[in-house]
Amino acid sequence: MTGFAAPRAVLFDRDGTLIRDVPYNGDPALVQPMPTVEQALALLRRRGVRTGVVTNQSGVARGLLSSGDVAAVNTRVDDLLGPFDVWAVCEHGPDDGCDCRKPLPGLVHRATRRLGLEPHDVVVIGDIGSDVAAGVAAGCRAVLVPTPVTRREEIADAVEVAEVADTIAAAVELVLGVALTSGGRR
């Protein structure tokens, strides 16, 4: 996919993208950045590209976490990797019928509006198909960075509608049109 302008903002999924995925994590002490994330965020910030987080946190709806637990983990993420310009969090469960839970575009629309940007100015980067689907449905460019939990069909689907990169740094370099690492793209 070519012909994209450099983004004015990049929205990241949280778990499995910015930080290691600890299912239903409510403990800030367990927050660990994913490889190459710090490098990627530094590059974006040097270039004046705004950053944000769009994250499903269904553990709240399931009674496994409180909103306070989610906020504490988000604060830790901000302390380690931020500050982020916008956070958009969906605490609904899969059957709640909201419009914000990825793969629906509500979270991405909310974050984009808060940034005062149009979807075509924004890139969404995530580790699973619902991240890419939400970005594409919102009208954004999207990049999938697979992890061991990413299903093969999610990668195949992403290749059809978005882009795929091997690392977060490679994804950021791809959307900025620069090549600084040896991380590949597909």
Q: Where are the beta strands (DSSP E) in the chain?
A: 9-12, 50-56, 86-90, 122-126, 141-144, 163-164
57 three-state secondary structure: coil
69 catalytic per annotation: no
Q: Which two tokens stand for residue 61?
A: 């709806």
Which position among 13, 69, 121, 131 bears the catalytic label?
Answer: 13
Question: Interior CA angle at 162 toward 104 and 17, to 5°?
Answer: 70
Which position among 15, 69, 121, 131 bears the catalytic label?
Answer: 15
127 catalytic per annotation: no
Are residues 134 and 103 in contact, defined by beta-carbon separation less than 8 angstroms? Answer: yes
Nearest to 137 by CA among 85, 172, 167, 100: 100
Are residues 33 and 66 in contact, defined by beta-carbon separation less than 8 angstroms? Answer: no
Q: Which of the residues are catalytic?
A: 13, 15
